[in-house]
Structure 1
Amino acid sequence: MELDIVGLSRLQFALTALYHFLFVPLTLGLSVIIAIMETVYVMTGRVIWRQMTKFWGTLFGINFVLGVATGITMEFQFGMNWSYYSHYVGDIFGAPLAIEGLMAFFLEATFVGLFFFGWDRMTKLQHLAATWAVAIGSNFSALWILIANGWMQNPVGAVFNPVTMRMEIEDFYAVIFNPVAQAKFVHTVSAGYVTAAVFVLGVSAWYLLKHRHVLLAKRSMAVACSFGLLSSLSVVVLGDESGYLATEHQKMKLAAIEGMWETEPAPASFTAIGFPNQAARETHHVIQIPWALGLISTRSLNTEVPGINELVARGRERVENGIQAYDALETIRTARGVANVDPSVKAMFEDHGADLGYAYLLKRYVDDPRQATAEQIDKAAWDLVPQVGPLFWSFRIMVGLGFFFIALMAAFFWQSARQRLGEPRWLLKLAVLAIPLPWIAAELGWFVAEFGRQPWIIEGVLPTAMAVSSLGVTDLLITIAGFTLFYSVLFVVEVKLMLRAIAKGPEPDDEAAPSHRLQAAPQPAE
């Protein structure tokens, strides 16, 4: 990225978003895991399950607080760094963000408080209900964020008003049930479940290697590997759905991920390995899996998958159509409304209005897109191609890690079924070493999703370069340095608190206290 307002604004948002997402997936997954553990406790009355719930709940609480702290900043950035974006799509984008804020700060925060301070003030069933409310609230909070993000990838249920120069919501139902948003939600949440499962598995394996808290570790590991195996399998299945939707709504992103310059005839092959060369516009030393891309992206063996060169040619046509839409728009604005213009102008805008955003790509080269030369139109068309190399390899590393998680969880599930979770030691060590890998996979997934959408901040509607605020480079450099320093401090605090809580281990449980209602008959700790 160039050292300009657009590049620096993207860099700042990317840094804060990636930092924030260090905390989100663990919150999503741990909330469900501790709810499962407490459910077992309520059903069996065994003290060890309450102890497990409290211990993993403590780690959840540390992560939750820092996740909220880092998330607040992100929403303010829309007004600070992306003011034209906020003006252009605020009617649509603002609604899910507002709902997410209400769920995060009212629903989640309320029940998190009940989870931590309600053990001896509520019945078992009441506390269990609060714990499940935390899990459900956390996941539904993520839903609204992903609805907003899904709309940026596939802007449905909205129309452009040529008078106000804004996108306005037309069908809120379509926004909520946007297929891209729904696929992103289940895929992202499943990835969070895998993150938490690997975390619980790794920490439990460390306890077993140290011969500490063995009963807690083995039971936690049994929950984690079962939950994690289902989650890791679902991530792969739901990732397939994302690939299918990309073929329909974001063909250029798919072609870039594949490093596919020429159209792949049916049945399309998947490129397992290759070395994209963007300057030469080709991919070298390709190793392909026959038919795989056709099955993933088109669910068929008789549909071709368009390559980058063909999509650029289509983009050039849309840029030219967008120029006509831009010309009609300027006439409408001068006349102060559609009703005051010639019907032919209105018809032209209706025919080509969907391509208006493509005309805006020319703003990088000329103030008035109507004055663009053929060379500038060609450059704008090639701007539709994101950086292929980083997308190509990020996607493959993410997929490789996904299959590794399946294998890891399956191995521990097999050991659990045989009641041999404490062995072999090399497998326990592998689980400990694997702890950071789900975060790497998740961050790469977001990189592919967001970097692959460029040059659009809203796919096909608004280029990223037009969405920024009128800030100075110095202002952005200062805020980037400030955010990086502050977030790094928070990350160090998070890690230290987590390590301290893990080293300390679970607190002794006092379930026999008379203040706890619906008390189960005293049982020996297991």
Structure 2
Amino acid sequence: MITEHLVDMSRLQFAVVALYHFLFVPLTLGLVWFLVIMEAVYVTTGKQIWKDMTRYWGKLFGINFALGVTTGITMEFQFGTNWSYYSQYVGDIFGAPLAIEGLMAFFLESTMVGLFFFGWNRLSRVQHLVVTFLMAVATNFSALWILIANGWMQSPVGAEFNYQTMRMEMTDFAAVLLNPDAQNKFVHTVSAGYVVGSVFVLSISALYLLRKRDVEFAKRSFQVAAAFGFASICSVIVLGDESGYSIGKAQQTKLATMEAMWHTEPAPAPFNLIASINEEEQKNNWELQIPYAMGIIGTRSFDKEIPGILEIKELNKERIITGVTAVTLLEQLRKTPDDMALRAQFDEVKDDLGFGLLLRKYTDDVSQATPEMIQKATDDTIPKVAPMFWSFRIMVGLGFLMLALFAVSLWYSLKGTFTQKTWLLKWAVIMLPAPWIAAELGWFVAEYGRQPWTIYGVLPTHISTSNIGVANVYWSLAGFVAFYTVLLIIEMYLMIKYVKLGPGSLGTGRYYGETPRNVTPSAADQEVNHVV
């Protein structure tokens, strides 16, 4: 028997593994394009410093990539161990992009990574640049297929429920591939990864400039990060707006909870900048609003309404009641599958089948559900508002702080005076954790906001899990936390070690702190000036 406690622990385990994994993924997505840019400049100009930049930042990329792959493998296995009913129910659709992602990650991507590190003296400049470019493309394609799978969970398209097999089956692969929610999610997520990589390079370069070491190396890295980061954060913000629009069409519940919008507001709806949320009384005690903003973002119009939480609950209640009919007809249809009249009746209500399945949390016989059970299932369709509301605002606030940082950094980079702005360099160092916090909060908003569904509107979370012992989940969760914490410590140790060493870790004899040639900081910069 699957208990609520088992479901909660299975969700917690997957969330912990995903959050750990997502500490590594964005930096991989971002850093890889820095390698392409820096190596392209090296191939074009022949200046040695750009090759050194590619190799040094590539070293940090390699550390992060290895641990990112290690933490990601577990997630795919969890679909079979902890979420077996989900895998059986939607495996025909969900399995295809995961399989393609595996090919991308473990064949194309890993092959290119190997050639990148071991091909410097075996390939020509242009050949190695092509390898670096293909490595970046493969890394982003790997993310694409994962996000196509996740986008389908958020907005299931191109599939139909088969009452004979009791499974969702793909009917249109192109619809799954070109799912607007998946495409928005992909571009938004990889752009966020570019921001993570940009802040990472910007912060470390600023640290070197503050310490007046490897100045020429750090100046060029800072300038690339400022320009690439500004373009990336603008993309994140624009595509975040586009995501808000797509959510407004596909997941109105998520949008309403993100905005703590309890009632349908007259169009165009205001945006709640901050609010005092009273979940018990289902209202906000007070609000600071920006007029019209939410209506324009959510509907791209001035006259379309965005439904509030309480109105959405009433609509969900009606769908649950219709879903009871769908579940009842499905049970009858399985006994007499050739009854065309019965099938026609089921086809009329099958879109609400998932809502009827929400009642399985309270009764095995959905047809006997009481009004109290229906009300509980209705309440379940709305996630907690406060976590959604504040997570989204902290994420957006950090995004605009990073926009300001990149804009100022780019401005002073173009003027050539950024090395004199100690306050700017300190700001860049302080902002190092910001993109990771924003990325983790973004993941939380996307996934927690989908509850109580694993497949939005189709398959409830509480019937998606494997029928395993809770103790097994406890022990595996403890094991994952321990193992992933060790990996995170290793990552931090190696990253800090090589950040402290800086480009001197390349052993070229041209940079600060290199013992083979006993190069002093000033002499190191003079030596670099000969190769820039």
Distance in structure 2 (CA, Å) of the matches to 1:321 and 1:51: 65
Q: Deviations over 1:366-403 (max 9, x none)?
A: 11111011121121111100010000000000000111
Match of 1:172, as an amino acid?
Answer: F
| Local SS of the residue matching 2:420 | coil
The yes-or-no answer on 1:442 pairing with 2:455 is no
Distance in structure 2 (CA, Å) of the matches to 1:319 and 1:193: 42
Counterpart residue number, 2:66: 65
Distance in structure 1 (CA, Å) of the matches to 2:455 and 2:430: 38
Match of 1:495, as an amino acid?
Answer: M
Counterpart residue number, 1:164: 165
After superposition, residues 357-436 of structure 1 pair within 5 angstroms as 357-436=354-433
Distance in structure 2 (CA, Å) of the matches to 1:324 and 1:111: 54
Counterpart residue number, 1:47: 48
User: Contact 2:147/2:186 (CA < 8 Å) preserved in 1?
Assistant: yes
| Local SS of the residue matching 1:4 | helix
Match of 1:524, as an amino acid?
Answer: H
Matched pairs, number: 511
After superposition, residues 280-299 of structure 1 pair within 5 angstroms as 280-299=281-300
Q: Provide closer, same or farther for how the CA distance between residues 510 and 125 of structure 1 changes in structure 2, counting only shifts above 3 A.
A: farther
Counterpart residue number, 2:144: 143
| Local SS of the residue matching 2:274 | strand
| Local SS of the residue matching 1:22 | helix
Distance in structure 2 (CA, Å) of the matches to 1:484 and 1:3: 22
Counterpart residue number, 1:218: 219
Counterpart residue number, 2:462: 465
User: Contact 2:21/2:71 (CA < 8 Å) preserved in 1?
Assistant: yes
Counterpart residue number, 1:132: 133
Shift of residue 14 of structure 1? 0.2
Shift of residue 509 of structure 1? 4.1
User: Contact 1:202/1:432 (CA < 8 Å) preserved in 2?
Assistant: yes
User: Contact 2:4/2:462 (CA < 8 Å) preserved in 1?
Assistant: no
Counterpart residue number, 1:524: 530
Distance in structure 1 (CA, Å) of the matches to 2:109 and 2:416: 37
Counterpart residue number, 2:111: 110
Q: TM-score, normalised by structure 1?
A: 0.96
Distance in structure 1 (CA, Å) of the matches to 2:334 and 2:231: 55
Counterpart residue number, 2:83: 82
Counterpart residue number, 2:269: 268
Shift of residue 508 of structure 1? 4.4
Match of 2:531, as an amino acid?
Answer: A
Match of 2:91, as an amino acid?
Answer: G
Counterpart residue number, 1:352: 349
Shift of residue 3 of structure 1? 7.3
Shift of residue 420 of structure 1? 1.2
Distance in structure 2 (CA, Å) of the matches to 1:324 and 1:347: 13
Distance in structure 2 (CA, Å) of the matches to 1:112 and 1:445: 28
Shift of residue 344 of structure 1? 3.0
Distance in structure 2 (CA, Å) of the matches to 1:434 and 1:523: 30
User: Contact 2:199/2:431 (CA < 8 Å) preserved in 1?
Assistant: yes
Q: Deviations over 1:333-365 (max 9, x none)?
A: 112x2xx21x33112111000100000100111
Distance in structure 2 (CA, Å) of the matches to 1:176 and 1:233: 25
After superposition, residues 188-199 of structure 1 pair within 5 angstroms as 188-199=189-200
Distance in structure 2 (CA, Å) of the matches to 1:278 and 1:287: 18
| Local SS of the residue matching 1:264 | coil
Match of 1:353, as an amino acid?
Answer: K
Shift of residue 421 of structure 1? 2.1
User: Contact 1:8/1:473 (CA < 8 Å) preserved in 2?
Assistant: yes
Shift of residue 473 of structure 1? 1.4
Match of 2:299, as an amino acid?
Answer: T
Shift of residue 423 of structure 1? 2.5
Q: Deviations over 1:15-46 (max 9, x none)?
A: 00000000000000100111000000100000
After superposition, residues 233-252 of structure 1 pair within 5 angstroms as 233-252=234-253
Q: Deviations over 1:312-334 (max 9, x none)?
A: 01001101111111111001111
User: Contact 1:51/1:508 (CA < 8 Å) preserved in 2?
Assistant: no
Q: Deviations over 1:274-295 (max 9, x none)?
A: 0212111111210110010011
User: Contact 2:363/2:369 (CA < 8 Å) preserved in 1?
Assistant: yes
Distance in structure 2 (CA, Å) of the matches to 1:386 and 1:33: 39
Distance in structure 1 (CA, Å) of the matches to 2:464 and 2:366: 17
Distance in structure 1 (CA, Å) of the matches to 2:141 and 2:74: 20
Distance in structure 2 (CA, Å) of the matches to 1:309 and 1:483: 39
User: Contact 1:232/1:402 (CA < 8 Å) preserved in 2?
Assistant: yes
User: Contact 1:391/1:448 (CA < 8 Å) preserved in 2?
Assistant: yes
Distance in structure 1 (CA, Å) of the matches to 2:65 and 2:420: 33
Distance in structure 1 (CA, Å) of the matches to 2:509 and 2:51: 10
Match of 1:279, as an amino acid?
Answer: E
Distance in structure 1 (CA, Å) of the matches to 2:421 and 2:279: 46
Distance in structure 2 (CA, Å) of the matches to 1:201 and 1:384: 42
Sequence identity (%): 57
User: Contact 1:294/1:303 (CA < 8 Å) preserved in 2?
Assistant: yes
| Local SS of the residue matching 2:432 | coil
